[in-house]
């Protein structure tokens, strides 16, 4: 990502799809920003603290801050935000029509770095899907803001009884039958 005066230019990190061996290990700051893929595709020597690493981290941090503050007003800003989101979690976007191939390559690079072997057999595929299904998406709203004790389950019988005591029982409204409605319509027509 590069920040140019008032415009933001974002590009995917291109690399040869047949190259899955990382050139540099991800720096902690880049991992925290969701840009570990940038380090994994970097051609710089794997020496932490170099000027190139510092420059990349600073420019990525500035670009990310610029992207995430205020509303996206242009199509380029919306696209840049979308791409940053994809880079932060490429696993969720491997089925994207436009960028799925790149995201799959990024997932392979990240998995290789983490020591996760590439899936080969059907059993491995099924096991990987089972693991993915068992993971819950993290959401600040769901986990922190929503303190509803019934978010995962409904209230039990005692809790329902206590609520009825507090709020009282709701009386079901009197809903007229079809015969009552027809009779009422007939009376209205007779009056004319």
pLDDT value, residue 16: 45
pLDDT value, residue 141: 67
pLDDT value, residue 3: 41
pLDDT value, residue 2: 41
Q: 51: helix, coil or strand?
A: helix
pLDDT value, residue 172: 67
Binning the chain into helix, strand and coil, the percentages to the nearest 5 are 55, 5, 40
* Inter-helix orientation angle 51-68/75-88, to 10°: 120
**Are 8 and 67 spatial neighbours (Cβ–Cβ below 8 Å)?**
yes
Q: How far apart are CA 21 and CA 24, in angstroms?
A: 9
pLDDT value, residue 119: 63
Burial class (CB in 10 A: 0-12, 13-18, 19+), 86: buried
Q: How far apart are CA 55 and CA 47, in angstroms?
A: 14
DSSP 118: P
Mean pLDDT by 10 residues, the chain (192 residues): 39 44 63 77 79 86 83 86 82 83 82 72 83 77 71 84 80 81 89 72
- Tell if the pTM clears 0.85, that is, is over it: no
Phi, psi of 176 (to 5 degrees): -70, 150
């Amino acid at each position: 990502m590069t920040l140019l005066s008032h415009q933001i230019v974002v590009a995917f990190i291109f690399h040869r799809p047949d190259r899955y061996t990382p050139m540099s290990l991800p720096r902690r700051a880049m991992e925290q920003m969701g840009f570990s893929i940038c380090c994994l595709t970097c051609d710089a020597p794997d020496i932490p603290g170099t000027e190139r690493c510092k420059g990349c981290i600073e420019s990525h941090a500035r670009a990310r801050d610029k992207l995430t503050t205020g509303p996206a007003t242009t199509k380029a800003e919306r696209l840049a935000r979308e791409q940053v989101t994809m880079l932060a979690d490429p696993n969720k976007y491997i089925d994207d029509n436009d960028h799925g191939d790149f995201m799959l390559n990024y997932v392979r690079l990240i998995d290789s770095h983490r020591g996760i072997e590439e899936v080969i057999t059907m059993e491995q595929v099924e096991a990987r899907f089972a693991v993915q299904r068992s993971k819950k998406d993290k959401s600040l709203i769901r986990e922190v803001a929503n303190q509803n004790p019934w978010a995962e389950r409904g209230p039990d019988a005692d809790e329902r009884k206590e609520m009825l005591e507090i709020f009282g029982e709701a009386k079901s409204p009197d809903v007229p039958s079809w015969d009552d409605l027809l009779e009422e319509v007939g009376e209205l027509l007779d009056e004319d």
